[in-house]
Amino acid sequence: MATKRPTPAMLEVLRMMLVGWQLGHRGGLTGGYWLQKGGCGKGGESKDVNSLTICGLRDRGMIEVDVRGFPTIKYRLTERADEALLEAVTHG
């Protein structure tokens, strides 16, 4: 079965991760997903990410847990993400 193509919002997350932004998730009542330039907790610029975008990336196997810690879970790209980014560049 072929992997569904990522949405534009998903591709934006993948591209940002490719150039050094790290995806993190805070647990608890005020939890959420965000990208942070240079790595989570490093003080760089950050951007909130919609949880449905992350669910789509996980369901497509394009991201996986890199570090499971408290209070932050950090994610990394998978080979499927690399393939999706290459397809987006070559086929628009």
Backbone phi, then psi, for 68, in 5-degree steps?
-105, 100
Q: Which residues pair with 48 in a beta bridge?
A: 34
Q: Answer yes or no: is 42 within a domain.
A: no
pLDDT in tens, the chain (92 residues): 456 889 999 999 999 999 999 999 998 777 899 999 999 999 999 999 999 999 999 999 999 999 998 889 999 999 999 999 999 988 86
Nearest to 46 by CA among 77, 24, 18, 78: 24
CATH number at residue 84: 1.10.10.10
> What crossing angle do the helices spanning 8-18 and 79-91 adopt, rounded to 10°?
110
Number of structural domains in the chain: 1
Centre a 10 Å sphere on the Cβ of residue 56 and count the other Cβ atoms it contains: 18
- Using only the alpha carbons of the chain, give its radius of gyration: 13
Q: Answer yes or no: is 36 within a domain.
A: no
